[in-house]
């Protein structure tokens, strides 16, 4: 009898452990929320297709309870195959107060293939945009494709609930010249793009970050000593100046395109570009201040490394461009307003 009692007790422990384990898994799962937005939306050019698709989605999310948000972008080929080229693409969110589209993330399509080598697709951290990712959310997906084949784009958001670094975020656009690849700032020539701003932080700011995305385009000359034209191929260092002093640096160096898991592709995907690769998400460059600058006003300037276009390129377009967006993100333990941005 004692033997059977021991067995029953042992089985009871296993049962209780299993229930506890199941409850823990359920608890962990309840901390993750996945919101599906665009679902195999065709992006193409011609035959009634559009490069951009815009829709409104319902985000039942309380930003103060969110620790992180990741955006996943999946590309599938339409019937007949994907477009042959590596092209600029991004995802934007509408800020009702600012009446402006903010660039959350950017990626470059692969040459003529999908990105199913990646289980969930391209991954981009979009936690900075959590004050906008609540309620009715207006999103715009754009692919700069010039063909009626294109891609089928699906975008999901993975919301991690938990203790955030700060409960309240706010952000504002500093500069944004990234509607498409050639909408960027001309490099090595005179232009009228405003790259200087004045930024005033809210009084209750506890952390201040800059969030910047950059891609270079064009095959302008003179070429570098290693035979690389600008701005797609030439490696440069960009500088953010604060109050006219160099403060943050963006090294447009190789990313290791040949190691891209989205391979093989049907084109020249392996050589390194300046800060981006075909078939890969574009890096988000985050710069954090040691001093949050609460209540202070600073002068912001974005500068490119010296180089002068001689317009001797044999390409159809002799210009070089940097498609760039940069935002200031402020954080606090109390409700916070967006920073004030003014021309310098």
Q: Are 224 and 343 in contact, with CB atoms under 8 Å apart?
A: no
How far is Cα 281 from Cα 124, in angstroms, rounded to an integer?
7
Contacts of residue 198, defined as CB under 8 A and 6 or more positions apart, other chains included, come to 297, 298, 299, 300, 341, 342, 343, 344
* Catalytic residue check, 54: no
The catalytic residue among 149, 179, 232, 281 is 232
Mark whether 160 is an active-site residue: no
Q: Please answer whether residues 260 and 271 qualify as being in contact, where contact means their C-beta atoms are separated by less than 8 angstroms.
A: no
Catalytic residue among 41, 86, 95, 281: 86
Q: Is 323:178 a contact under the CB 8 Å cutoff?
A: yes
Q: Give CA separation, 105 vs 65, 116, 129, 151, 213, in Å.
A: 23, 19, 11, 17, 8
User: Hey, what's the torsion of the CAs at 307, 309, 315, 316, to 10 degrees?
Assistant: 130
Residues 6+ positions from 192 with CB-CB distance below 8 Å: none
Residue 144 catalytic?
yes
Considering 41, 114, 128, 144, which one is annotated as catalytic?
Answer: 144
Joined together, the tokens standing for residue 284 give 């988000």
Looking at the annotation, which residues are catalytic? 86, 144, 232
């Amino acid at each position: 009898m004692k033997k059977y009692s021991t067995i029953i007790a042992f089985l009871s422990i296993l049962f209780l452990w299993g229930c506890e384990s199941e409850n823990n898994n359920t608890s962990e799962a309840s901390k993750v929320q996945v919101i599906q937005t665009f679902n195999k939306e065709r992006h193409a050019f011609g035959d009634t297709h559009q490069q951009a698709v815009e829709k409104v989605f319902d985000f039942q999310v309380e930003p103060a309870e969110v620790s992180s948000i990741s955006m996943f972008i999946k590309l599938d080929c339409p019937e007949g195959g994907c477009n042959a080229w590596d092209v600029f693409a991004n995802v934007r969110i509408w800020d009702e107060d600012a009446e402006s589209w903010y660039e959350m993330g950017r990626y470059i399509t692969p040459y003529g293939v999908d990105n199913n080598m990646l289980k969930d697709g391209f991954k981009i951290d979009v936690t900075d945009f959590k004050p906008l990712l609540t309620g009715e959310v207006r999103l715009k997906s754009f692919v700069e494709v010039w063909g009626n084949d294109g891609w089928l784009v699906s975008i999901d958001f993975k919301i991690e609930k938990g203790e955030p670094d700060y409960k309240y975020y706010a952000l504002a656009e500093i500069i944004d010249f990234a509607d498409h690849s050639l909408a960027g700032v001309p490099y090595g020539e005179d232009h009228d793009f405003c790259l200087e701003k004045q930024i005033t932080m809210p009084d209750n700011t506890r952390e201040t970050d800059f969030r910047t995305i950059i891609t270079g385009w064009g095959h302008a000359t003179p070429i570098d000593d290693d035979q690389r034209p600008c701005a797609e191929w030439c490696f440069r260092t960009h500088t953010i100046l604060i109050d006219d002093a160099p403060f943050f640096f963006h090294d447009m160096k190789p990313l290791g395109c040949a190691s891209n898991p989205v391979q093989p592709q049907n084109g020249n995907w392996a050589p390194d570009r300046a800060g981006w690769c075909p078939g890969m998400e574009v890096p988000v460059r985050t710069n954090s201040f040691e001093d949050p600058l609460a209540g202070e006003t600073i002068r912001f300037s974005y500068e490119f490394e010296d180089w002068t276009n001689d317009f001797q390129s044999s390409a159809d377009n002799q210009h070089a461009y940097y498609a760039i967006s940069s935002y200031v993100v402020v954080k606090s333990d109390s409700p916070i307003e967006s920073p004030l941005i003014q021309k310098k």
